[in-house]
Structures are given as C-alpha cells and as structure tokens.
C-alpha cells in the first residue's frame, strides 16, 4: 500500500465492466473460489530473464526484427522516377510506395510497443521478484492488469519472464521441457516422443544458441515463437 506521502494509486475493479449497476450488484455477492483463484495467481513471483533481455536489447540495437520485436527504422521509399504520372513506371512506383508507406505506419505502433516492453523489462530486471495483479471480465476470464510485460503478453513478453522460484527438473520434467521446446519452435503436429526426438537431434544447435544467440540468430529466429524458444 502507498504511504501517506505517496500519490494515490488508481483503483482497479475486480471485474472489468463500466455498468455501475452491475458493479453495485457485485458488492452483494461473495465469490470465495474466484477470490482464491485470483489471489493464487497474484501470489506467484516472477523475474525477468536477464539473458533473453540482453539478447532482445542487442537485436533491437542492431535492428534485427523477429516476432514481437520489429526493425527500428522505416523502410525507405525509392525516389519517384521520371515520367508522366500515369506512365507504367510511375504507376509501379506509386503502388510500391503505397505499400511501403502503409507498412511503415503499421510498424511504428509495433515499434512503440516493443520499445515500451523493453523499457519496462529493464526496470523490472532490477528486482529479484515481481508480481502481477489480475482482474476478470464478466465471463470470468482472468487477465493481468499491467500492459506490455505480463505472462499473457506477446511472444517477447512471455520470453522475458521466468518463475522466480525455479526447481531442478527430474527426468519427467526434462521430457516435458523438450516437448515444450519443440512446441514453441513449431514442431507440434507429431507425437510427444517425436517432439522429444526432434529436440535431441538438434541438441548441438540448441546449446550453441544458448551460448551465443546472436550468431545463431538465423536459426532460432525461424521458430514459431522464437523468444519463448530462446
């Protein structure tokens, strides 16, 4: 809770709904199982995956686009060619310029989101543990309140988070880690044993990626969910 000297914090409703009558009715209901579920999620401590953050920051600095992380510069539009406005050469240029202009407009919002995500991750990386508050919609679906960095975020957001309380995996845990690795790479339409086999066949590449993700960028960036795979 904030101290008396702290600025007041915004109130977050347990259930996201603008209907004041609906919110008033909720005050008369007791939902112990719902409260228990949300409090359980809110009690889980997380931390930022420092190595993934460092790789993401380096990719950002080098304008290496992958998944939720987009290139840092707009694509340049070629100079308009000489000729009449309705000439074939100029029509081709106009079509290409229009596509590039639309792409640049779309990518700017994604670039802003990626920049905010990296900034928040850098700030949160200063702490050994972080927690996320949750609320729910009128159907009972639970969502993390903070934007950008949260366990329900995009590929990069999920790749940037670890449970703060890790455990040593036994053989069963290692098996399912391999399954998960194959899943996020995109090799998920075969049996579990085949997914494990795929990971074992790519052990050398996987370990090389862990040691030097920038020099192995071309391989792991092809994954279906590259930041989670990393």
Q: To the nearest whole percent, how much of the chain has pLDDT over 90?
A: 62
CA-nearest of 193, 113, 192, 124 to 153 is: 113
How much is the average pLDDT of 97-103? 81
Tokens of 57: 């920051």
The whole-number average pLDDT for the span 90-98 is 80
The structure tokens 């990296």 sit at 118
Between 213 and 90, the more confident residue is: 213
Residue 17: per-residue pLDDT: 83
**CA-based nearest residue to 122, from 146, 147, 149, 145:** 149
Confidence class for position 47, pLDDT limits 50, 70, 90: very high
pLDDT of 6 higher than 60 = no
Q: Which has the minimum average pLDDT: 4-8, 42-46, 57-61, 170-174? A: 4-8
The model's confidence at residue 25, banded by pLDDT at 50, 70 and 90, is confident
Task: State the residue for tokens 């998920």.
Answer: 188
pLDDT of residue 1: 36
pTM of the model: 0.82
Q: How far apart are CA 230 and CA 181, in angstroms?
A: 9
The per-residue pLDDT for range 54-85, each reduced to its tens digit, is 999 999 999 898 988 887 777 777 887 777 77
Q: Nearest Cα to 75, choosing from 97, 92, 95?
A: 97
Q: How far apart are the C-alpha atoms of 189 and 185, rounded to whole Å?
A: 11
pLDDT at 188 over 80: yes
Q: Where are the beta strands (DSSP E) in 87-220?
A: 134-136, 142-144, 161-163
């Amino acid at each position: 809770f904030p101290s008396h000297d702290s600025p007041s914090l915004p109130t977050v409703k347990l259930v996201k709904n603008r209907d004041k009558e609906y919110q008033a009715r909720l005050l008369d209901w007791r939902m112990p199982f719902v409260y228990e579920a949300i409090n359980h999620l809110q009690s889980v401590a997380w931390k930022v995956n420092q190595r993934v953050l460092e790789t993401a920051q380096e990719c950002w600095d080098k304008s290496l686009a992958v998944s939720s992380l987009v290139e840092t510069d707009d694509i340049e539009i070629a100079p308009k060619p000489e000729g009449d406005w309705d000439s074939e050469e100029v029509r081709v240029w106009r079509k290409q310029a229009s596509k590039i202009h639309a792409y640049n407009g779309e990518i700017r919002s994604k670039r802003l989101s990626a920049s905010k995500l990296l900034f928040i991750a850098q700030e949160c990386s200063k702490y050994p543990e972080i927690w996320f508050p949750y609320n729910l919609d009128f159907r009972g679906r639970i969502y993390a309140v903070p934007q950008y960095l949260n366990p329900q975020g995009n590929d990069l957001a999920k790749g940037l988070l670890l449970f703060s309380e890790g455990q040593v995996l036994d053989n069963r845990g290692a098996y399912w880690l391999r399954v998960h690795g194959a899943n996020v790479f995109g090799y998920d339409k075969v049996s579990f044993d085949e997914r494990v086999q795929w990971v074992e066949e790519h052990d050398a590449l996987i370990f090389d990626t862990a040691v030097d993700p920038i020099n192995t960028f071309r391989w792991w960036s092809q994954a279906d969910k590259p930041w989670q795979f990393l």
